[in-house]
Structure formats: structure tokens, C-alpha cells
Structure 1
Amino acid sequence: MAFGWIDEQAEARRRAGLVRTLRPRPARSPLLDLASNDYLGLARHPEVTEGAAEAARTWGGGATGSRLVTGTTELHGELERELADFCGFESALVLSSGYAANLAAVTALAPFGSLVVSDAGNHASLIDGCRLARGTTQVVPHADPDAVRKALGTHDGPAVTVSDTVFSVDGDAAPLAGLARACREHGAGLIVDDAHGLGVLGDGGRGAPHAAGLAGDPDVVVTVTLSKSLGSQGGAVLGPAAVIDHLVNAARTFIFDTGLAPAAAGAALAALRLLRREPGRAARAREVATALHTRLTAEGLSAVRPDAAVVSVRAPSPERAVRWAADCREAGLAVGCFRPPSVPDGVSRLRLTARADLTEEQIEHAVDVISRNR
């Protein structure tokens, strides 16, 4: 039987407690949401939803083609200019997802004969970018600039280091300044994914590279997603104009993919403008993360100190993590549940989103539910 092996893998997942299922959510859920990536609470903001609606009314339901054919509207150009300006970079390129942005940046900037140094804790999209790149990849220990320096020292030729700025599992921040120094000692470029930093870190949410003083540097390229702090969908690559021009001509996930839908571009642009006007949202997201961590650890739980808006709570096993998350859901609280193979260290955990729009009462309720159902 052609696909008989699928049944064997399904049974292995079932025995290991690693079966994943889709759970469609209603338009209006009664659950308190600490599971999504809506860090600033903008996904349903009236200005953001109207930005999406107005863009759809003006440009239609889809981009109609790839960016190089009919898929680039004036709205896409406007979003790229404002996003680059906000984050402090010379240029930007919008793609259909953050995943596509990471594949574009890594594959187009790691040609044959190059070395890609990749952090062991990187997101799957960066890992897949390394696998698809024509260069050779060397994985180094997590958040270790000295390991990066050592790896780069073994190669004579083009090289890039690839890292998340904030790692999605535990919410810890990469040592960006140290990584940049290690790269510059060897003339290597630095590609960082700021999916969990944009809107949360830096002056008014301008991102982790901006906070580290790397924004606009000629050897730094940043990828972002529009689906987290900006409450929309899509991704972008930020960097020197020459790099962005190269991606337009060489990045396959840009050239051969349909452009980002106008509604998503309109929503992201509206959210970005709102964040400019209300920069305190970024600080509030960090305050909520700190409050969750402080109160959960006071309850005796093993929670990782957050550097941004992700709060990770360790669970004793994959099965217990699944049951814990289910019990929280039954008590009216939605939390994320990370298990192998999604976690690089094999440790299962609950993953909480600290949203800027959470009230003190909601924070207390979340801590109570999580601690009672441990």
C-alpha cells in the first residue's frame, strides 16, 4: 500500500502522546486568550479591521499574482516604506508570511560555498531555510557568541549567522550585540528573525535589533512577521537596499509566490500606525509578561524569566502538558502547549502570551487557573 507507512507513524505518535488536532475557534470565544500571538491586542482593534476592510474594498480580495507580475499594489509599497522607517532600516520587502520571509532571506544570502551558522534553538522556518540554502550549515549551541566565533573561524569565504532575536519556546532573547561582534570579526553577515521582538522590544516596539543598536547596519538583515504584534498576516525582510534588491531577483519564496493579500497589508499598515501613536503598548506587554512570571513562580511553578512577551512554564511530560492545557481550557483559559518535536530540548511546557490589553484581574485569573490545574 503506497501510504501504509502513515498508519505506523500515526500509531507511534499516539503511543508517545504527540497527536496534534485542529480545533476551529468561534468568532467570539468565551475563553481568556493566552495562547495566540496577538501581543498588543490589535487583531480586533477597530482601526486594524477597518484597514483590512478598506484595502479589500479598494484592491479586491487577493493580490491576483506574484509580486513581480500583478501582486504589488501601492499599498504594499506604502507598508514597506513605513515598516523600514519604523524599524530603522533602509529598505523592506513584504512577503506572504513570516515563514516565507525567513526562507527568502536565508536561501538568497547563503549561496554555494558559503557557511551558515545556525543557533540550536532557531525556529523551524530558519532551520528549513538553512536546509534549502546552497551553503553548508553548522549548528552551534544556543545563544553562544563564542561558539559562533569559533564556527566562523573555520571557514574562508562568504558566511552568515542566523538566529531568532527572541526564541519562541522559552521567550529568551539572543545576545545580539555579541553575535554582531563575532560576525564582524570574520566579515560575516547577521540574519535575525524578530518575529517575537517587533512591537514588544526596543523604543516604542521598534524591535530587538533597534534596541541592540543594530538597526540600519549594513551587515544586518532582519525578518519580521506581521501576524503577531501587528495583528495581521504576512512577513517582511528589512535591510540594506542592495540586499532587498537582491532578494527581489533571487528569493524563490518571493518570486514564485502570490503577493500578500491587500486586506492583510492594510491591516498591518493600520496596526503599525497605531503603534506609532501608542508606543506604550510595547512596554505594557513586557509588564504583563513580568507579572505573569512573578506570580507563577510565587505559586511554585517553574516559569522561565521572559525577555519579551512569551512566558514558558515547564511541564513534567508531554502527556501532562496536554492534560494541563486541556484542564485550563475547561476552566476558561486558552494556553499554548509545546511538546516534542516542537521543543529543541525535549522538555514540554505551557506557553503563555502576555498581551498588552490584559487587565490585572485577567492576569490574576490566569495565574489562579494555571496553578490550580497543575
Structure 2
Amino acid sequence: MSFDLQSRLAERRAAHLYRQRPLLDSPQGPEVVVDGQPLLAFCSNDYLGLANHPEVIRALQRGAEQWGVGGGASHLVIGHSGPHHALEEALAEFTGRPRALLFSTGYMANLAAVTALVGQGDTVLEDRLNHASLLDAGLLSGARFSRYLHNDAASLASRLEKATGNTLVVTDGVFSMDGDLADLPNLCTVAKAKGAWVMVDDAHGFGPLGANGGGIVEQFGLGLDDVQVLVGTLGKAFGTAGAFVAGSEELIETLIQFARPYIYTTSQPPAVACATLKSLELLRSEGWRREHLARLIARFREGAEAIGLALMDSPTPIQPILIGDSERAMKLSALLKARGILVGAIRPPTVPAGSARLRVTLSAAHSEAQLERLLEALAACWPEVRDA
């Protein structure tokens, strides 16, 4: 008996679900070179345009000169360098929490937090549309795992009635494929009434949301009492790499002692932490980036609705155009690419069957003229897909 990998791959191709990696031949930015072709890109999560910022680059270079390249070991052995510690302190201050803990990736941060907090005899309740890393964490924890209806506090309340042991409610802050916001005030109220903790992965909220870029928790005016576990990633609006968990002194010490993805992983390069300290400074001080981004979002929604495109309820830089059929979504993406514009088609299993879409993501680095170019291309290409 052998693994029939060929058949699995053939089935995925036939269903228009086969994925291929575009080869980026340039730095991140609105104008990129992909597979040798110059393109105007609307598919990066570099929401504030910091991934190729000259000051962030210089901070990385200086960090490498002072601290070398590799982390060398796990944080608990000899891999916890001065820049890592300084970044944790800065992130704690930024989020208004006593402590923050640095991770090498967002996937690891989510696995670490959930599996360290709940296990056999406990309960983890998750939004149906949560990111794959959160769902995997819930399943791997060994706790009783259940998913409530998307953004539905009543559905969560009914599941909380059946919860046993320590109960953790887990949600994205901004849902990465729909761009909508978690109804945190109501979810937190329901959870608090049952003594459950709330964990929010605000990977896509930090930077674009909140008066100071502090994300969805800042936007809703919630505190440590409401959201006990706050996760953020650094590879999106921060423009660098890695992730963090912010919370109480006891939470962070618990993760250091019990979170296997933290304990058994080499630390990120210290120079990356140096770069992130600079990008955090820019995120906080240059509010014009959020203001410009908000104007682009409003203009895109106005223009897309005028074309007759089906948008989703998103006030964020993530602006999905709902197509439905995977083949038609791929066709629209290809037509845009032929006009020099790159927008990724998102298909099942990343999104539910029948909800294939183009996921437009906007950045503060985009100009108004570049956005108009996207709208003009959509106006030209959409009838060909709509009427097919």
C-alpha cells in the first residue's frame, strides 16, 4: 500500500483549487515584480507600508551589526537577547498590559497560548471563521472543543452553558478572509457572565484600528478584565516578523513555563526585534498612515459598489469581492493580472464552499491614483466574468 499523492493533486487541479507560489523578485510595496512581471499589487498584509521603510531597514542592519544574525538558542537557554527584552517591554506598554511575550510566528503564538491554558477537562469555544492556527490550537489542546456561529453572542452563550472546567473563548479580532470585526463588547459580556476568559488574535487589527493603532481592543475601549489574552503578529502592519502575546504577569509566566511552542523554539534573530522597535515607533507616531488608509478604504468601497461588485461588511484594509465560484474568481484574478494588477483569488478550503472571492488588501503605501487604476481595471474586467 502506498500514498496516492498524484490523485489527490489531480483532484485539486480539477476543482480549480490548486495553489501555486508566486515568486516575488522585488521588495514588498505597491509596485512589485512577480515571476518577472511588473505588477501593481493589492494582496499584501503590509497595511501601513512599513515592510520596506528605510528607517526599519537601517534598524535591522544596525541590529545585525551589533547582535549578529541568529538567535542562537531558545529564549530559556541563551537566546533571549537585549532587543527581544526591549521589544517585549515596548509591546506591553503599547497594549497597556503588564507583560508581553515574543514568539517567532503568529501560528506559534496561538498554539502556545491555547495549549498552555486549557487541556483535558476544560473547554475551548471558537468562532467558526477563526484562523486555521486558532482552530488547530483548540483541537490540539485536548480540551472539549466547540465552534459557535460567526460573531454570534447568543450562540456563544448557549455553548457556555455546557462548558466544563476552565473555559477559553477564542476569536479573531479582524477576520482575515472577510475583513469584518469581532463583536467583542457582546462576546466579552457573555464570557464574563460565565467566568470564561477571552483570547483575541488581532493579527489584522493592530496598526489599522484604534486611535493609536492599538487594534480592536483599543477601538472598543476594552481592557485586561475583558480580554485576558491578546495576540498580535508583527509581519503585517508592523512590517517585520514574529508575534506576541500580551496579558497579565501570571499569564506570561505561565506561557514561559508551560507553552511548548515557546520553550522548544530558537528565538527570532535579535536584529528583527531591533527593526520591530523602529516600526512600532513609526506605527505610533505617524498617524497619517491610518488616516490615508481609511480614505483609501472608503473610496474603494464607494467605487466597487458603483461597479456592482458584491463586497463584504468590512471597515478594514481587507476588502473581499465575493464571486462564489472558484473558476470565476480565478478568471477575474487572471484578467486583472493581464492588465498589470495583482489580486489573489481565495478559494476553498481557506473559505467556505461557494464563497470564493478576490481578497483586495489596501496599504497606506498605495496612492489614490493607484487605487483608481484598480477600480478602472475592475470596471473593465467584471462584466466579462459576470456575464460568463
TM-score normalized by the length of structure 2: 0.93
Instruction: State which drifts further: 276-285 or 299-308.
Output: 276-285
Report deviation, 1:218: 6.8
Aligned to 1:11: 10
Q: Quick one: distance in 2 between partners of 1:81 and 1:337?
A: 39
Q: Deviations over 1:63-107 (max 9, x none)?
A: 111111122111001111111111222210010011111111111
Is it true that 1:275 corresponds to 2:283 in the alignment?
yes
Report deviation, 1:32: 1.5
Instruction: State which drifts further: 222-231 or 81-90.
Output: 81-90
Aligned to 1:226: 234
Is it true that 1:341 corresponds to 2:340 in the alignment?
no
Q: Quick one: distance in 2 between partners of 1:54 and 1:179?
A: 44
Q: Quick one: distance in 2 between partners of 1:250 and 1:46?
A: 38
1:90-109 superposed matches below 5 A: 90-109=98-117
Superposed structure 1 runs of 4+ greater than 6 Å apart: none
**% identical equivalent positions:** 38
Secondary structure of 1:111 counterpart? coil
Is it true that 1:182 corresponds to 2:190 in the alignment?
yes
1:287-326 superposed matches below 5 A: 287-326=295-334
Q: Quick one: distance in 2 between partners of 1:110 and 1:234?
A: 23
The correspondence for 2:150, drawn from 142, 145, 150, is 142
Check the 8 A contact 1:204/1:276 in 2, yes or no. Answer: yes
Is it true that 1:200 corresponds to 2:186 in the alignment?
no
1:15-164 superposed matches below 5 A: 15-27=14-26, 29=33, 30-164=38-172
Q: Which amino acid aligns with 1:15?
A: A
Check the 8 A contact 2:83/2:271 in 1, yes or no. Answer: no
Secondary structure of 2:344 counterpart? strand
Instruction: State which drifts further: 345-354 or 220-229.
Output: 345-354
Secondary structure of 2:321 counterpart? strand
Q: Quick one: distance in 2 between partners of 1:369 and 1:343?
A: 25
Q: Quick one: distance in 2 between partners of 1:128 and 1:325?
A: 30
Q: Quick one: distance in 2 between partners of 1:290 and 1:166?
A: 17
Check the 8 A contact 2:188/2:226 in 1, yes or no. Answer: no
Secondary structure of 2:78 counterpart? coil
Q: Quick one: distance in 2 between partners of 1:138 and 1:290?
A: 36
Aligned to 2:29: none
Report deviation, 1:345: 5.2
Is it true that 1:286 corresponds to 2:301 in the alignment?
no
Aligned to 2:2: 2
Q: Quick one: distance in 1 between partners of 2:277 and 2:246?
A: 15
Check the 8 A contact 1:87/1:215 in 2, yes or no. Answer: no
Is it true that 1:330 corresponds to 2:319 in the alignment?
no
Q: Which amino acid aligns with 2:25?
A: P
Count of residue correspondences: 373
1:257-276 superposed matches below 5 A: 257-276=265-284
Q: Quick one: distance in 1 between partners of 2:244 and 2:121?
A: 26
Instruction: State which drifts further: 291-300 or 37-46.
Output: 291-300
Q: Quick one: distance in 1 between partners of 2:353 and 2:75?
A: 38
Secondary structure of 1:373 counterpart? helix
Report deviation, 1:326: 2.0
Q: Quick one: distance in 1 between partners of 2:323 and 2:160?
A: 36
TM-score normalized by the length of structure 1: 0.96
Is it true that 1:235 corresponds to 2:234 in the alignment?
no
Q: Quick one: distance in 2 between partners of 1:276 and 1:156?
A: 41
Aligned to 2:368: 360
Aligned to 1:254: 262
Q: Deviations over 1:335-370 (max 9, x none)?
A: 122100000354000001111122111110011112
Report deviation, 1:213: 1.9
Q: Which amino acid aligns with 1:352?
A: V
Report deviation, 1:59: 1.4
Secondary structure of 1:223 counterpart? strand
Report deviation, 1:222: 0.8
Q: Which amino acid aligns with 1:2?
A: S
Check the 8 A contact 1:218/1:239 in 2, yes or no. Answer: no
Q: Quick one: distance in 1 between partners of 2:274 and 2:60?
A: 5
Which blocks of at least 5 consecutive residues in structure 1 are unaligned?
A: none
Q: Which amino acid aligns with 2:332?
A: W
